[in-house]
Copies of this chain bind each other. A is one copy, B any other.
């Protein structure tokens, strides 16, 4: 097996460039009074972030030799959703964050109203990209991607998890509750990434099941690692505010399990995630490397 850093670093660099280039073309700023809206969208999606979700889509597509031009479209779509959710999540009425990906958040760099609209527009753009024939020649595949994205970003997915998070002041979650919250808030979109690769590549049911198992374990490990970073990290390293959950008195994996157990649980989940890929050969090395990276981002 190729060591993770050797395979991961160039892949992350390449996907970052590919995503930036495509957003730059998609979001040409018009010469009229909507320019501010496009500038805000560009601020949110170009030149930042780890691009982990796009890389997951492309890596899953690679398993089935999906043409990169197709998997990159699905990658753009999920990044649109991810970034729109960050813009809205950072608003003063939500998490009230000033810093994201080492830059001022959209409502700081622009204003709140523009941030709301820019998020809404990226939300639309995701569906517009997926519906286009360039994403897949089979219309049913495009519709499946669209349905899954709508479900997994809505109340039965990401937004549902955000709502659970919002009421965390009134509701006390135990480990099962936090796991459910995170499966919706973070896990649903990660699941979409792997399913998208499978749909684009016409994977069989066994392959889909493997990828879903990988997605579930990876999503949870990723969130535990995030909680660990929140406790152990610094703003300089993470590019965003830290220790907000603890300050808000919210339960996290770390507060419920303790540092040591959280760390070993994340490691165990990554082992399990990689285990789900046993039926794949070296073509899955990138997915294996991403899994290891998920818990090693800051160690």
Point out residues on A near B: beta carbons under 8 Å. 32-34, 36-38, 41, 84-85, 88, 91, 93-94, 111-114, 116-117, 119-121, 123-125, 127-128, 131-132, 139-140, 142-143, 146-147, 149-151, 153-155, 159-160, 162-164, 166-167, 171
State whether A163 touches B131 (Cβ < 8 A). Answer: no
A139 CB contacts on chain B under 8 angstroms: 139-140, 142-143
A231 to B223, CA, bound (A): 53
Name the one of B111, B154, B166 contacting A93, with C-beta atoms under 8 angstroms.
B111
A120 to B155 Cα, complex, angstroms: 9
Across the interface, do B154 and A121 meet the contact criterion of CB distance under 8 Å? Answer: yes
Closest CB in chain B relative to A39 CB, distance in Å: 10
Interface centre among A142, A155, A162 (most CB of B within 10 A): A155
Between A and B, 26 residue pairs with Cβ closer than 8 Å are A32-B164, A33-B164, A34-B160, A34-B164, A36-B163, A37-B159, A37-B160, A41-B155, A88-B116, A91-B116, A93-B111, A93-B112, A114-B163, A117-B159, A124-B150, A124-B155, A124-B159, A125-B154, A127-B127, A131-B143, A131-B146, A131-B147, A139-B139, A139-B140, A139-B142, A139-B143
Q: How far is B135's CA from A147's CA once the two chains are assembled, in angstroms?
A: 13
Q: Chain copies in the assembly?
A: 2
Main secondary structure of the interface of A (DSSP, over half): helix
User: In the complex, A130→B159 CA distance in Å?
Assistant: 20
**Nearest opposing residue in chain B for A129, CB measure:** B150
Q: Is the CB of B33 within 8 A of A171?
A: yes
In the complex, are the beta carbons of B127 and A113 less than 8 A apart? no
A142 to chain B, nearest CB (A): 6
State in angstroms the CA–CA spacing of A145 and B94 once bound together: 32
Contact between B125 and A123, CB atoms less than 8 A apart: no
Distance between Cα atoms of A121 and B84 in the complex (Å): 13
Query: Which of chain B's residues have a CB closer than 8 A to the CB of A164?
Result: 32-34
Which residue of chain B is the closest to A184 with respect to CB atoms?
B34
Q: Is the CB of A150 within 8 A of B127?
A: yes
Whether B94 pairs with A113 at a CB distance below 8 angstroms is: yes
Cβ–Cβ < 8 Å partners of A116 in chain B? 88, 91, 93-94, 116
B88, B114, B131, B143: the one contacting A150 at CB < 8 Å is B131
